[in-house]
Amino acid sequence: MRLTVPIRAVFGLEIRTLLRDPRTLLISVVLPIVLIPAILIAGDWIESREARATEALSFRVAVEGDRVDLARALLLRVGDETPPGAGRDPTSRFQFVDLEEPGEALADARIDVVLHAMDYGTWMRGVEDGSVDPGPGGPPGEFDGAPRLQILFHSDRTSSREGAQALRRHLLDIREVRRDSILLAAGFPVPTDEVLVVESVNVAPPEAMEGAQLGRFLTLILLGLMTLGGSAIATDTLAGEKERGTLNTLLTSAARRQEIITGKLLAIMAVAFAIALIQILNLWLFLGLGIVDVGGALAVRIPPEAALLLLVLYLPAVALVSGVLLLTSAYARSYKEAQLYLTPVLLALVLPAAVPMLPGISLQSAILLVPIANLGVAVRDLLMGDIHIPSVMTAWAVTALAATWVTRRCVLAIQDENLLLGDRSQEEHTGGEGLFRKQVLVWVLVLWGVKILWDFNIPVQDLRWASLLGVGLVFGLFPLVVIRRFRLEPRRALALRMPHPGVWAGVLLGVPAGILTVLGVFQLVDTVVPVPTEMMESLGQALTPEAIPVWQLLIFVALVPGITEELTFRGVVLYGLRRRFGPVALALVVGLIFGIFHFSLFRIPTTATLGVILTAVTLLTGSILPAMVWHTLNNAAAVLASRDMLPGIDSEWLAEGVGWGWSVSGLVALGVAFAVIWRFRTPYPEVGPPRVG
């Protein structure tokens, strides 16, 4: 489109409004200018300060036990036998204190570490009567008969924790040196020329390592700043003008609607582009010209041609972010509502930007087709000096196509009179079910915010309490609050009705089939965004702790979520959205909402798939009960598999991947299960937009 006079006028008006608002100017202009330099300078200062503090730090140590003589002899020789290149004499880091009750002094923080030295007999007796911790190795072991040194510390105190780590490192170093000395003195039988010295040498160029560190989070920072800066103008440009009524005046002018929306979009793009340009100039000035002498992981040099290429790479992201923000403002009916939408929009934009931080992600994979994520990986590779031109061009084109589609949606949005003007219907004035249908997504967003605040600010160590409060209480109260607030009829809102008895056969077949299908989805996602094994193991340990009996896990991991989460998602959320979408779109939307409430990035696709399945079951049966049973049995199977209590299935088999054959078989069986449910269907009432006429 040609830049007509109305487009230029709308663009100029938006920019002048931005420059007159100090708060918007601060977020959109000042913050981006100072953020990167502040991070670089502060990072360099903190790194050097921590290095000096660590070097100067000393720890108070007391020695106790029946082998105090051995411990003191070792500690006195630490300085003499420090391995070459170890740096500062370690004995200067430890102040040895003589105390009658070292344990009490450690508890009172008068000392940092206690070194408990025991002979083997004392240690074994202490282990047997419970007065001595056997340690991770446990009794007895390879070193039966050897004296024991135990380092006692308080992990809640930094000085105690770091002192224990430092003392352990130095004692292990001395053990290596003493072991070599003893072997040589005893006439080590293997000739020296037959001994293999194993060394690890990192041969990666320094610029590649430094570029990888910067490239991992550069896109995340830029997308976050562009979203925040662009939202400062986007929330006011449509949503704010709707609330003030000034949009009506603008629509009555000679400018066409397409010209109005183009001018506003260009204003947001100008802000986002300025932010990207400022950050890249900052990187070139401070890192390329070496204005800030950044050491360590960020000591990367960015020449002018690399800075220019970065700017070109980020152009589609600028357009995509601007279009999403303007579209969000179009759907919001007020300034406050637009601000409420900002949190999920920010999350949706920055999550793909965090993909370069994950290990094992390559641009020569399916990530190439994911907008923003592909640019982030391309930028990381560029800063590492590893550029694959065809892949970079494809990533640029994919994100540009996504930006074009979003821009097209913005143009279509202005054709909806009610959406553009934020008109309020009769239901919104009278309240009730009609009002809930219009506000259901806002209520879901509020619930999502409550869940985030709860999970990240009220940590509960015991899984049982975490399930009872963080899942049972939150998702159990939400339907009750909604039903009371909007005066809904509980049986209809929660779909509390008995399905046809034949449905249960489909449910029993569908549970194992659904598990195999979801595992197949996980394998598919893992090919795009590989999930570290350690992350999966820690998640499994967190969800099924060994210390909790199986019957309790079945209650708190299977039954509580199976009931309360269904009351929320297949209950009131499905009820509120049923008139907005057709059956297929409704299942996808409710399933996606269900997945987003499981915050781990790699869990969202799998839980969303399960959510789509459960929503489809509810729509076919018109009842929430099959979804409750399905959800509960699904979680129960996961608990039993983690304890190797399912015949033919164990946790190792699941961890290694079930294989594509099993996943395809599960998908076929899932189709059979839905065919059974379809045969006995009693559909959910009143699904889809109301027909006119």
pLDDT in tens, 631-642: 999 999 988 888
Taking a C-beta distance cutoff of 8 angstroms, is the pair 561, 628 a contact? Answer: no
What is the per-residue pLDDT for 683?
A: 93
What is the per-residue pLDDT for 693?
A: 46
Most confident listed range (18-32, 75-89, 458-472): 458-472
What is the per-residue pLDDT for 565?
A: 95
Give whole-number Cα distances, 113 to 63, 69, 81, 170, 251, in Å: 9, 17, 22, 14, 74
Can you tell me the mean pLDDT for 321-332? 83
How far is 422 from 332, CA to CA, in rounded Å?
8
What is the per-residue pLDDT for 211?
A: 60
| DSSP H helical ranges for 460-582 | 463-465, 474-486, 490-493, 503-528, 533-543, 550-553, 560-566, 574-577
What is the per-residue pLDDT for 87?
A: 46
What is the per-residue pLDDT for 226?
A: 82
Q: Which segment of 91-95, 126-130, 193-197, 380-384 scores lowest on mean pLDDT?
A: 193-197
Decide if pLDDT at 548 tops 80.
Answer: yes
Most confident listed range (21-35, 224-238, 294-308, 512-526): 512-526
pLDDT band at 89 (very low <50, low <70, confident <90, very high): low
Q: DSSP of 155-220, one letter per residue?
A: TTSHHHHHHHHHHHHHHHHHHHHHHHHHHHHTT-SS-GGGPPPP-----S-HHHHHHHHHHHHHHH
Decide if pLDDT at 152 tops 80.
Answer: yes
Beta strand pairing call for 59-64 and 113-118: parallel
Question: Higher-confidence residue: 228 or 658?
Answer: 228
pLDDT band at 417 (very low <50, low <70, confident <90, very high): low
Beta strand pairing call for 59-64 and 148-152: unpaired
Q: Which segment of 80-89, 437-446, 570-579 scores lowest on mean pLDDT?
A: 80-89
pLDDT band at 144 (very low <50, low <70, confident <90, very high): low
Question: Higher-confidence residue: 178 or 53?
Answer: 178
How far is 378 from 482, CA to CA, in rounded Å?
45
What is the per-residue pLDDT for 80?
A: 46
Q: Which segment of 54-63, 123-132, 411-420, 616-625 scores lowest on mean pLDDT?
A: 411-420
What is the per-residue pLDDT for 82?
A: 47
Can you tell me the mean pLDDT for 401-424? 71
Decide if pLDDT at 688 tops 80.
Answer: yes
What is the per-residue pLDDT for 352?
A: 85
Q: What mean pLDDT, rounded, does the chain reach?
A: 78
Close Cβ partners of 324 (under 8 Å, ≥ 6 residues apart):
345, 348, 349, 406
Question: Higher-confidence residue: 140 or 679?
Answer: 679
Taking a C-beta distance cutoff of 8 angstroms, is the pair 261, 410 a contact? Answer: yes
How far is 377 from 264, CA to CA, in rounded Å?
30
pLDDT band at 86 (very low <50, low <70, confident <90, very high): very low
How far is 561 from 545, CA to CA, in rounded Å?
17
Decide if pLDDT at 55 tops 50.
Answer: yes
Q: Which pair of tokens denotes residue 615? A: 């929503």
Residue type for 11, please?
F
Can you tell me the mean pLDDT for 63-92? 63
What is the per-residue pLDDT for 421?
A: 56
Decide if pLDDT at 684 tops 60.
Answer: yes
User: Percentage of the chain with pLDDT > 90?
Assistant: 19
Can you tell me the mean pLDDT for 255-261? 79
Close Cβ partners of 20 (under 8 Å, ≥ 6 residues apart):
none
Decide if pLDDT at 426 tops 80.
Answer: no
Measured from the Cβ of residue 640, the count of other Cβ atoms closer than 10 Å reads: 18
Close Cβ partners of 693 (under 8 Å, ≥ 6 residues apart):
none
pLDDT in tens, 562-574: 999 999 999 999 9
What is the per-residue pLDDT for 415?
A: 64
Question: Higher-confidence residue: 188 or 403?
Answer: 403
Q: Which segment of 15-24, 195-204, 604-613 scores lowest on mean pLDDT?
A: 195-204
Q: Which pair of tokens denotes residue 104? A: 């009490």
Can you tell me the mean pLDDT for 219-227? 83
Decide if pLDDT at 273 tops 70.
Answer: yes
CB neighbour burial string for 531-560, b if at least 16 within 10 angstroms, e if fewer: beeeeeeeebeeebeeebeeeebbbbbbbb
How far is 477 from 584, CA to CA, in rounded Å?
28
Taking a C-beta distance cutoff of 8 angstroms, is the pair 349, 321 a contact? Answer: yes
Can you tell me the mean pLDDT for 334-338? 77
Residue 646 bridge partners (DSSP):
649
pLDDT in tens, 511-533: 999 998 988 888 887 776 666 66
pLDDT in tens, 276-289: 888 777 777 766 56
pLDDT band at 590 (very low <50, low <70, confident <90, very high): very high
Query: Of 663, 664, 661, 642, which Cα lies nearest the Cα of 653?
Result: 642
What is the per-residue pLDDT for 20?
A: 78
pLDDT in tens, 294-316: 555 455 667 778 788 888 888 99
Query: Of 668, 670, 650, 681, which Cα lies nearest the Cα of 508?
Result: 670
pLDDT band at 681 (very low <50, low <70, confident <90, very high): very high
Can you tell me the mean pLDDT for 328-337? 78
pTM: 0.55
What is the per-residue pLDDT for 539?
A: 62
What is the per-residue pLDDT for 139?
A: 46
The ranges assigned to domains in the chain are: 5-12+19-36+205-421, 57-191, 431-679
Query: Of 269, 309, 526, which Cα lies nearest the Cα of 406?
Result: 269
Decide if pLDDT at 81 tops 70.
Answer: no
Sheet with 148-152, side-by-side order of all strands:
94-97, 59-64, 113-118, 148-152
Decide if pLDDT at 544 tops 60.
Answer: yes
Most confident listed range (151-165, 277-291, 483-497): 483-497
Question: Higher-confidence residue: 418 or 78?
Answer: 418
What is the per-residue pLDDT for 601?
A: 56
Decide if pLDDT at 127 tops 70.
Answer: yes
Three-state secondary structure call for residue 113:
strand
Question: Higher-confidence residue: 648 or 246?
Answer: 246
Three-state secondary structure call for residue 116:
strand
Topology at the third CATH level for domain 57-191? D-Maltodextrin-Binding Protein; domain 2 (3.40.190)
